[in-house]
Amino acid sequence: MATVPATKPVPARFILFPSAHAEVRQLKEWLVDHAPVRDVDVTDDFVIASFPRRLSTSRLRELLLESREIEYVEPDCDGPDFTTTSKELALDLSPALRCWNRAARPTFPNDPCIDELWGHSKIGWDSRVAARSLPRLVAVLDSGIDARHEDLANGVRVSLESTAPRRSQGRRLNALCAMTGRCYPHGTEMAGTIAGRMDNGIGVAGVAPNSHLMPIVISRVEHGTLGRISTIARAIEEAARGNADVINISAKWPVDSRAIAVAVRTAVGGNAATKRLIVTGYATALDTDESVREYFPSQYRCLPGVIAAVPVDMRGRELSNPKDRPNANDGRIQAPGVDIVVTTTENSERGYALSGAAGASSAAAYVSGAVALAWGSPPLNTCDAQQIKELLFCRSKSSDSTRYPWINVDFLRELANVEPGADCKVALEKLGCG
């Protein structure tokens, strides 16, 4: 009988926070000198280390916490539940639905799929407002973006100062996707909704077509499962270091993490949350006891500077002004999430597809685009991040058939009545949200 070769145990990986009297690099040096580490790396706030699997993970964690140098330890998790928040694309369509095969429209904007972008009209999007908007930088933490896509041309800013390890998969995939399009298409799909070029005679137009995109890879090779917790936390740090105004995370995972929570708080600027906004999809699942379980990162929606986009199909439903001012502290706001025409790397027909049920991913992309569009519309460009969040909730719409406010940007037309040179405070007062 043939013997089955023994498999080598997988090293135990941990995220370690230094104690109050130590710094991150001091903790790294201490681990190298005193612990049996296989490899060790540092970020702004924590150390990532792997250890030979001679003890159970729980016992190894207990031993690490006995050290005066270490204040907190958590496993650097990954798993099948770390994934993007979209479903498969519906690619088998009748010719009538393949709007990307049409010639340019004779009117502005001339993008042939404009009439199919029901979500744009439902959120009050105006092409003239979009054309006048200033560019904002949106970091897309996903599977990468195909920078060669003709509807994303000149709008993708690949980070050259990646915090990922030099030979890491994320760094390699980011470059590979941008230069060749050989990557899982999810990030490219989100990119077109956020900032697809407008009036270029092809495909779609993004909600914020003048804005720029910063792709940061957090997924694995050729599928939608994510990297580890440390990968996600480092990506948020990298987006902040790259001066992104908006961080879009169309992904979900089931466990809380101090590393990610710290990265989120630092990125948005602490409790004041004035630096930037993080937008994610509102992702939930029904547990065996029929209770609703909310995934991360949408559980961070109650933190200042975070918005969770709830996917909804609002076609045929009436929207109205809310009776009371919606509470931005809850963080949930509805956005289009069904039948979205997207840019993609997979379709041979000029790189487009109709996403039949993209769900929370597309909703997050719509909200990220709305944030970038509003923040890029003078004089709202003088506002801080928290003021933009409060404004979007203040001027949202409501419906008798839905629970949460609906993202809406038709109020941006009213900025034409604001005197030139006005600041954010004056603009908010004119919009009724001062």
pLDDT of res. 35: 85
Q: Contact, 191 vs 248, CB < 8 A?
A: no
What is residue 291's predicted lDDT score, i.e. its pLDDT?
Answer: 72
How distant, in Å, are the alpha carbons of 150, 185, 231 from that of 160?
22, 21, 17
Q: Say which range, 126-130, 143-147, 368-372, has the weakest mean pLDDT.
A: 143-147
d(CA 354, CA 119): 13
pLDDT band with cut points at 50, 70 and 90 for residue 92: very low
With residues binned 3-state (H G I as helix, E B as strand, rest as coil), the percentages for the chain, rounded to 5, are: 30, 20, 50
Q: What are 227-285's pLDDT values in tens digits?
A: 899 999 999 999 999 999 999 998 899 999 999 999 999 999 999 999 999 999 998 87
| pLDDT: which is higher, 179 or 415 | 415
Best mean pLDDT range from 83-97, 169-183, 212-226, 415-429: 415-429
Query: 44-57 burial, b for 16+ CB within 10 Å, e for fewer?
Result: ebbbbbbbeeeeee
Q: Which residue has the tokens 């997050």?
A: 364
pLDDT at position 405 over 50: yes
According to the model, what pLDDT value does residue 159 have? 66
Least confident of 47-56, 92-101, 191-200: 92-101
Indicate the pLDDT class of residue 319, thresholds 50, 70 and 90: confident
Query: Where is pLDDT greater, at 88 or 145?
Result: 145
CA–CA distance, 384 with 389 (Å, rounded to integer): 9
Residues 34-45: what's their mean pLDDT?
90
Would you kindly state where each structural domain of the chain is located, as residue ranges? 12-75, 83-430
Residue 388 and residue 424: Cα distance in Å, rounded? 10
pTM over 0.85: yes
Q: Does domain 12-75 have CATH number 1.10.357?
A: no
pLDDT of residue 236: 96
User: Is 50 exceeded by the pLDDT of residue 288?
Assistant: yes
420 DSSP 8-state letter: T
pLDDT average, residue stretch 70-99: 73
- Please, are residues 370 and 123 in contact by the beta-carbon 8 Å criterion? yes
- CB-CB contact of 296 with 256 (8 Å): yes
Nearest C-alpha neighbor of 322 from the set 388, 405, 403, 401 = 405
- Residue 166: the pLDDT is 54
Angle at 322 between CA 319 and CA 324, to 5 degrees: 170
Report the top-level CATH class of 83-430.
alpha beta
In the predicted structure, residue 1 carries a pLDDT above the cut 70: no
- Give tens-digit pLDDT for 196-241: 999 999 999 999 999 999 999 998 755 567 889 999 999 999 999 9
Question: What secondary structure letter does DSSP report for 346?
Answer: S
Per-residue pLDDT, 114: 95
Per DSSP, what are the bridge partners of residue 306? 278
Closest CA to 335 of 20, 114, 106, 124: 124
CA distances to 84, 223, 352, 364 from 80, in Å: 11, 11, 28, 21
pLDDT band of residue 395 (cuts 50, 70, 90) is very high
Query: Which tokens belong to 325?
Result: 């001012």
Bridge partners (DSSP) of residue 248 are 140, 279
Are the C-beta atoms of residues 372 and 389 closer than 8 Å to each other? Answer: no
Over 70: is that where the pLDDT of 77 sits?
yes
> Residue 286 — pLDDT band, cuts 50, 70, 90?
low
pLDDT tens, residue by residue, 145-198: 999 899 998 899 986 555 555 555 566 777 778 877 778 888 999 999 999 999
Kindly report the average pLDDT of the chain as a whole number. Answer: 88
Which residues of 19-167 form beta strands (DSSP E)?
Answer: 39-42, 47-51, 70-75, 83-84, 137-142
